[in-house]
C-alpha cells in the first residue's frame, strides 16, 4: 500500500498542476499539442481535435505540451510565444494556482463532513486567570463577545488570541440569567513547532472540564488514611455521581463529615505496561476541620486535583537532573504559583534559554509530612527524529502530567456549507503563510539545508499519512500541494517562476531575449535545480540510512 500511496500522492499533485496549465491554454485558445497522464511509452493514445491525449507507462504525474513554449513555431498566431503578456502570465500562473486551489477543495470536503462543533460553553476556569478574576464559572455559555454573537468555542479562542492586553466584553448566560462580564487577556508568548514565536491572548479557560482525577501528597491527611492515592479517579461522592473536579469540590465542600467515595484505580498488567486494568475501590473519608489565626474554619481532606502531579520524568532531561520524580507536586515557577500544567508549559516556552527556579513538594515516607524542594532548571534544545525521519529541534523540559480532559459541550453547525467554505479558505491561507515562512527561513539560513527532502522523504510522508487513514492522507496532500505551488513560483529558470522572471526581464529591456540568452538562462536553471536535487537526495540518504 505504501507504493500506492506514493504514486497517488505524486501523481495527483503533478496532474493537478499540469491540468491548470492545460485548462488556461484551452480557454485562451492557445494550441495544446499533448496532454499526458504519466510519462514514458504511451499505453493509450487518442487524438481529439488538435490535441493528443495519452496515458504513459510510468504513472507518476503527467505533463502538458503547449505550442511555442519550447521551439515550435506556428503560422496562425496560436502559439504561447505569440500571445500578449497577460495571456502568457495566466497560462504560467495557472499551474501553481491549481496547486493552491486543491487544498481549498480538500479542506472543504473534510470540513463539510462535520456536523457538530465544540459549543461556546466554559468547561473549566483556571485559578488565578483573567476569567476567574472576572467571575466566569464552569458551565457559563458565552453569547456575545464585544457585541458579536458567538456559537462555537473556536470563536472564543480566536477572539481571545487576537486581543492580548485588550479588554473584552462578554455576554454570558448562566442558569437562565443573562449578564455581562469584562476581562482582559494577558499576553502569552507561544513557540510553534516551526520555531515561529507569536504573542497571543490568554484568559485561563478550557472547553473540556477537568476529570475528577486526584492526587495525595500529605501522607497523614484524611485522604491518605482512607486509602486514596495519586491517580485515583473519583466516580461518586456519597452516592452522587461526579463528572468533573468541580463536582468533587462541591460535594466535599458542603460539610466536614464522614463521606463515602467510590473510585477507579488502574493496575498495570505485568509485561504490558501500556495497558491498565481498572478496579473499583471504596473509601471512607473523614475530613478534618482546620481553624486559622482569624478563627476561620476550613474543611481539610488532603485531596488535590492530579493536574500538577508529575506522572513521567524522562531520564537525562533537565527535570530529571533537577531532581523531579514521578509523584511530586509542582508548586511554583520562579516563586509564582502554577495551578495548571498548560500554564507551566507556556511559561517555559516563553523563555527557552532562561534558568528557572522550580519548587515542588514530595510525599514523606509513611505518615511523615511532605517536604518542599527547590532546584534551578534550564531547558535544552535536542534534535529528535519525527515519524517522517526528519530531524527536528525540540525544547525539552522532561516532565509531564497524565491527566485526561473530559468531554465538553457540543452544538450543531449552522450553515454547514458556508462554514466549510470559510474554513477551507482560512486553513489554506494559514498553510500558505506557514509554508512561505519556511521557505524564507531556508533562504536566510535559519532553517538548515538538511531540512530539504527528496523522493525518499516523499515516499515516507505518503506511507505514514496513508496508513493513518484517508483524512490524514488528504491533509498531507493539501499541505504538499501548497508546497509544490509555492516552489513553482520561485524565480528559478525551468520553473513557472522562471517564466515570470523572463517576462520581467523582457519588460525591463522592452524587447525579447534572444534564443541564445534563453538557452543560457535555461542552463543556469537546470544546473541550480540539479544541485538542489542532489542536496535533497543526499539528505534522504543520510536521513534514512545513516541516522
Q: Which residues are designated catalytic?
A: 18
**Contact of 197 with 346, CB cutoff 8 Å:** no
List alpha helices for 258-398, DSSP H: 318-322, 341-350
Element (H, E) at 167: none
C-alpha–C-alpha distance, residues 395 and 373, integer Å: 24
C-alpha–C-alpha distance, residues 536 and 276, integer Å: 44
C-alpha–C-alpha distance, residues 233 and 278, integer Å: 10
C-alpha–C-alpha distance, residues 397 and 379, integer Å: 5
Q: What are phi and psi of 357, to 5 degrees?
A: -95, 115
DSSP letter string, 185-214: PEEEEEE-TTS-EEEEEE-SEESSPBP-BE
Smallest Cα–Cα separation from 13: which of 111, 107, 103? 103
Q: What are phi and psi of 418, to 5 degrees?
A: -65, -40
Dihedral, CA atoms, 20, 21, 25, 28, nearest 10 degrees? 60
C-alpha–C-alpha distance, residues 187 and 203, integer Å: 9
Q: Which residues are CB-contacts of 478 (< 8 A; sequence separation ≥ 6)? A: 102, 103, 106, 107, 428, 431
C-alpha–C-alpha distance, residues 332 and 308, integer Å: 10
**Contact of 313 with 322, CB cutoff 8 Å:** no
User: By CB neighbour count within 10 A (0-12 exposed, 13-18 middle, 19+ buried), where does 269 fall?
Assistant: exposed
**Contact of 163 with 182, CB cutoff 8 Å:** no
Q: Tell me which residue has cell 473523614.
A: 286
User: Crossing angle, helix 470-488 and helix 85-112, to 10 degrees?
Assistant: 160
C-alpha–C-alpha distance, residues 17 and 248, integer Å: 58
Amino acid at each position: 500500500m505504501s507504493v500506492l500511496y506514493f504514486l497517488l500522492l505524486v501523481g495527483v499533485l503533478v496532474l493537478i498542476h499540469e491540468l491548470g496549465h492545460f485548462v488556461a491554454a484551452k480557454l485562451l485558445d492557445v494550441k495544446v499539442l499533448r496532454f499526458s497522464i504519466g510519462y514514458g511509452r504511451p499505453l493509450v493514445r487518442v487524438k481529439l481535435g488538435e490535441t493528443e491525449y495519452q496515458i504513459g507507462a510510468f504513472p507518476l504525474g503527467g505533463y502538458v505540451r503547449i505550442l511555442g513554449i519550447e521551439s515550435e513555431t506556428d503560422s496562425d498566431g496560436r502559439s504561447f510565444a505569440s500571445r500578449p503578456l497577460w495571456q502568457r502570465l495566466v497560462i504560467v500562473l495557472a499551474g501553481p494556482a491549481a496547486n493552491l486551489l486543491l487544498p481549498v477543495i480538500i479542506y472543504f470536503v473534510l470540513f463539510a463532513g462535520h456536523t457538530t462543533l465544540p459549543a461556546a460553553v466554559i468547561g473549566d476556569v483556571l485559578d488565578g486567570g483573567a476569567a476567574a478574576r472576572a467571575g466566569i464559572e464552569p458551565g457559563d455559555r458565552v453569547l456575545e463577545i464585544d457585541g458579536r454573537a458567538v456559537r462555537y468555542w473556536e470563536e472564543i479562542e480566536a477572539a481571545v488570541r487576537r486581543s492580548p492586553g485588550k479588554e473584552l466584553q462578554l455576554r454570558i448566560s448562566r442558569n437562565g440569567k443573562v449578564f455581562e462580564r469584562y476581562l482582559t487577556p494577558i499576553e502569552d508568548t507561544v513557540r510553534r513547532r516551526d520555531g515561529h514565536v507569536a504573542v497571543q491572548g490568554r484568559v485561563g479557560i478550557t472547553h473540556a472540564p477537568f476529570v475528577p482525577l486526584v492526587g495525595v501528597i500529605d501522607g497523614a491527611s484524611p485522604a491518605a488514611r482512607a486509602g486514596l492515592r495519586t491517580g485515583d479517579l473519583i466516580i461518586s461522592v456519597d452516592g452522587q455521581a461526579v463528572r468533573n473536579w468541580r463536582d468533587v469540590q462541591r460535594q466535599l465542600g458542603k460539610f466536614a463529615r464522614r463521606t463515602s467515595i467510590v473510585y477507579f484505580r488502574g493496575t498495570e498488567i505485568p509485561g504490558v505496561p501500556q495497558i491498565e486494568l481498572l478496579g473499583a475501590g471504596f473509601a471512607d473519608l473523614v475530613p478534618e476541620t482546620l481553624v486559622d489565626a482569624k478563627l476561620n474554619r476550613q474543611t481539610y481532606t488532603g485531596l488535590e486535583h492530579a493536574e500538577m502531579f508529575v506522572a513521567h520524568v524522562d531520564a537525562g532531561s533537565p527535570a530529571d537532573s533537577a531532581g523531579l520524580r514521578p509523584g511530586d507536586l509542582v508548586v511554583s515557577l520562579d516563586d509564582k504559583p502554577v495551578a495548571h500544567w498548560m500554564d507551566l508549559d507556556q511559561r517555559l516556552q516563553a523563555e527557552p534559554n532562561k534558568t528557572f527556579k522550580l519548587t515542588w513538594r514530595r510525599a514523606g515516607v509513611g505518615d511523615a509530612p511532605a517536604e518542599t524542594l527547590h532546584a534551578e532548571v534550564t531547558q535544552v534544545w535536542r534534535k529528535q527524529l519525527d515519524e517522517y525521519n526528519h530531524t527536528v529541534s525540540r525544547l525539552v523540559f522532561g516532565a509531564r502530567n497524565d491527566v485526561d480532559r473530559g468531554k465538553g459541550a457540543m452544538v450543531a453547525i449552522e450553515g454547514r456549507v458556508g462554514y466549510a467554505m470559510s474554513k477551507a479558505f482560512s486553513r489554506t491561507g494559514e498553510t500558505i503563510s506557514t509554508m512561505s515562512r519556511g521557505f524564507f527561513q531556508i533562504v536566510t539560513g535559519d532553517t538548515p539545508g538538511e531540512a530539504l527532502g527528496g523522493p525518499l522523504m516523499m515516499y515516507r510522508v505518503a506511507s505514514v499519512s496513508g496508513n493513518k487513514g484517508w483524512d490524514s492522507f488528504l491533509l498531507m496532500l493539501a499541505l504538499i500541494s501548497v508546497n509544490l505551488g509555492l516552489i513553482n513560483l520561485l524565480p528559478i529558470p525551468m520553473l513557472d517562476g522562471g517564466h515570470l522572471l523572463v517576462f520581467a526581464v523582457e519588460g525591463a529591456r522592452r524587447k525579447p531575449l534572444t534564443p541564445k540568452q534563453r538557452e543560457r538562462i535555461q542552463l543556469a536553471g537546470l544546473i541550480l535545480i540539479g544541485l538542489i536535487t542532489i542536496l535533497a537526495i543526499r539528505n534522504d540518504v543520510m536521513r534514512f540510512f545513516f541516522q
